[in-house]
A and B are shown apart, each in its own frame.
Chain A
Amino acid sequence: MASEIQHPNPNANWETRGWWEGAGRGELVLQRCASTGTFQHKPRGISAATWDDDIEYVVAAGTGTVYTYTVTHQNQAKGFAEACPYVMAYVDLDEGVRVLTNIVGCDPEDVTIGMAVEADFAAGERDDGEAFAVPRFRPVGTGSGSGAGAS
């Protein structure tokens, strides 16, 4: 039985901190361009649509569908070598943006394209003590909710 993925700690800057700290609260915080209404991910310091800085933040529903995925059987990197096979996937959020993630909480062989999934947060703590979490996804209805620390 493969062990759980040990996610390397993400590094954040002022542009991306909102995403990781939101995840620490059990939320997916998306950026939206205030003038065009376009969501954007990954987060940026400007609107990719207009290059203006009128960005607003919206808490996503936390649900989506698997756009595509792969079951990884070989990855020498620390935190993943022991976790093989694991599922890496793109999930299309209900808000219309795609995130790279892992699908957890089910047998890798049971993952399908189009499968309905919900966010699942792996809690961590940065060196400076700030709480954050790495958002992953699991099949809808298989988790104990989407609160921080559920895994």
Chain B
Amino acid sequence: MSGGVPDGVFPGNTAIVGVHEHESRFSPDKSEFQIMGECAREALADAGLAKDDVDGLFGASMSMGMMGIVDLAEYLDLHPSYIDGTNIGGSSFVAHVNHAAAAINAGLCSVALVLYGSTAASNSVAIGTGGRGGADAAASFTTPYGMTTVGSYAMYANLHMHHFGTTSEQLAEIAVTMRRHAGLNPNAKMRQPITVDDVLASRVISSPLHLLDCCIISDGGGAVVVTSMERARDLAKRPVQLLGCGEAVTHQETGSSDLLTIAAAQSGAAAMGMAGITHDDIDLAMIYDSFTITVLATLENLGFCKRGEGGDFVGGGRIGLGGELPVNPDGGGLSSNHPGMRGIFLIIEAVKQLRGECGERQVDGAEVALAHGTGGTIGDKHSGATLILGAG
């Protein structure tokens, strides 16, 4: 066992046994489902399992709507006994692992496959700066005002700066750190080092966020295989044990919410409480970095530092490799890949780190990792899902 979680009890009786991140960042010749299928094949091979072992199917994408998970089952020619197409934005896959573990614990499936695929870059999707909302009656409270994804995060950033004196230089440190990490990841899309000055000199997209405060847009996808700890012991790779999980949603309530409190506060506390660990036990954090401010807000809300102290916390090399809390050693969405819904890569990198498979970007002696996905926008409404994983 790791942390305070016994092997025989949920969630410690479940493990991630196979992962695969699609190497490509630009795949104009592939479909979303094709990318998912390729990742499924590789993740099962990684686990030492086969297609016929899969009896739980979990997935979401930017284009999978109603019946999407059934379409995916048909594409893959699977007949799972448990299906879950939960789509709560980019955090969906973190939630899927939570759900898969619960289903396995309940005996409803034994080998769960979690999938994501996207051709956002090939399709030239304006993820951050296209109009956001839609045309229905509820969306009509945002669409007429030119809401964008980046704009929502920018309003959060501006509020944080106003209350706590957080600076653009401090946010830029996050982008610079992610780019440095990406330089150690051969598959990362953007590997050329950048400086704080480069970030500040890049054009403002939605004040106070600059171009280099924003994640990149790529194609890509991934797969994660979850099974029981008992079965995991006999498989190909060292199992990565689930130690804790939590989910939450945060929204505008009845029009008087505290915007600075994001879903991570609730889901993170739940996951860490379940795992029976403290912040000091965590060796690395995979944090959804749609924008630099997302990292700062998430670290604060997860309790790694006090509210308002995130600007100082992300400086001084603390979140870089070799620092006190390495964040996103793969380079994150800011520099490695961001095909629209990044949550699955948080899990994949955490698993590879806990297995010690990360080469130049390996966090030495990583035993416990936290992965936190954010879906939606923190300046409006969003979901948060947290996983605590341990080297089994």
Co-complex (A, B): yes
Q: Which residues of A pack against B, CB within 8 Å?
A: 5, 7-13, 15-16, 20, 38-42, 48-49, 67-80, 83, 86, 88-90, 96-102, 113, 134, 136
Check A90–B135 contact: CB distance below 8 A: no
Q: Could you show 27 A-B contacts with beta carbons less than 8 Å apart?
A: A7-B144, A7-B145, A8-B143, A10-B137, A10-B144, A11-B135, A16-B137, A38-B254, A41-B255, A67-B159, A67-B259, A70-B154, A72-B154, A73-B207, A74-B206, A76-B126, A77-B130, A77-B146, A78-B131, A86-B146, A88-B145, A88-B151, A96-B256, A98-B252, A98-B255, A100-B147, A134-B144
* A40 & B137 in contact (Cβ 8 Å cutoff): no
In the complex, whether B158 has a CB less than 8 A from a CB of chain A is: yes
Q: Which of B113-154 contact A (CB under 8 A)?
A: 126, 129-131, 135-138, 140-148, 150-151, 154
B131→A75 contact, CB < 8 A: yes
For residue B312, give the distance in angstroms from its CB to the closest CB of chain A. 21
Q: Pick the 9 closest A-B CB pairs, nearest first.
A: A77-B131, A97-B255, A10-B140, A70-B154, A41-B255, A40-B254, A68-B159, A13-B137, A80-B146
The chain A residue with its CB closest to the CB of B203 is: A73
For residue B379, which residues in chain A have a CB less than 8 angstroms away from its CB?
A: 68
Apart from A98-B252, A100-B141, 20 more pairs, CB < 8 Å? A7-B145, A8-B143, A10-B137, A11-B135, A13-B137, A16-B137, A39-B255, A41-B255, A48-B254, A68-B156, A70-B155, A71-B204, A71-B206, A72-B206, A73-B203, A73-B204, A76-B129, A77-B148, A97-B256, A113-B158
Given contacts A76-B131, A100-B141, contact A88 B146 (CB under 8 A): yes
Interface contacts (Cβ under 8 Å), in number, total 128
- Give the Cβ gap from A87 to chain B, nearest Cβ, in Å: 9
**In the complex, what's the smallest C-beta–C-beta distance from B139 to chain A, in angstroms?**
8
**A49 and B254 in contact (CB under 8 A), knowing A11-B136, A71-B206, A77-B131?**
yes
* B-chain residues with CB within 8 Å of residue A38 when the two chains form the complex: 254
